[in-house]
Structure 1
Amino acid sequence: MAKPNPKGPTRTVDIFCAKCKAQLFKYRKGGKGALVKCFKERIVDDLTTTPCVCPQCETTFARETLIRGTPAYKMIGGKVTMK
């Protein structure tokens, strides 16, 4: 399997907690589909203190995993929104 392009896309999206609307990440996302995973190397601003946990309401919104040999966050369905 091919690794994701490290330079990645130029378009950034803001990722928010679906429960309390706190901003979690600024992320370089490619494509126009739903947010299923976030590669750690594409995160521009990480506003969380603990990985995969919302800093305001302390809800777990993702799981740490390896996707194609690259560290990533696998999003839990319905826990995050993006703009």
Structure 2
Amino acid sequence: MSKPNKKGPSKTVDIYCKGCNFLLFKYRKGGKGALLKCFKERISQNFTETPCTCPKCKKVFARDCLIRGTPAFKMIGGKVWCK
């Protein structure tokens, strides 16, 4: 399978924790679909201290994994929302 485009789209979305509305990432997302995964190379700003954990409410919102051979965060359903 092909690797994701490193540059990615120029439009960014803000990803928030569903529990406490803390800003977690600014992410260059492509397409109109739901947020299922975040490729680490497309995260433009990261506001978390430990990976996959909200710094404010300490809840785990994603899992660290490899998707198509590229490091990514796989989002847990209902833990984050994006604007």
TM-score range, shorter-chain basis?
over 0.9
Length, aligned pairs only: 83
Question: How many angstroms does 1:20 deviate by?
Answer: 0.2
Q: What is the match of residue 5 of structure 1?
A: 5
Query: TM-score scaled to structure 2, two decimals?
Result: 0.99
Q: Percent identity?
A: 69
Quote the RMSD (CA, aligned, Å).
Answer: 0.2
Residue 58 of structure 1 aligns to a residue in which SS?
coil
1:35-62 Cα shifts (integer Å, max 9, x gaps): 0000000000000000000000000000
- Cα distance in 2 for partners of 1:36, 1:58 equals 20
Runs of 4+ in 1 over 3 A off after TM superposition: none
Unpaired segments of 5 or more residues in structure 1? Answer: none
* Amino acid of the structure 1 residue aligned with 2:69: G
- Cα distance in 2 for partners of 1:53, 1:7 equals 25
Q: What is the match of residue 31 of structure 2?
A: 31
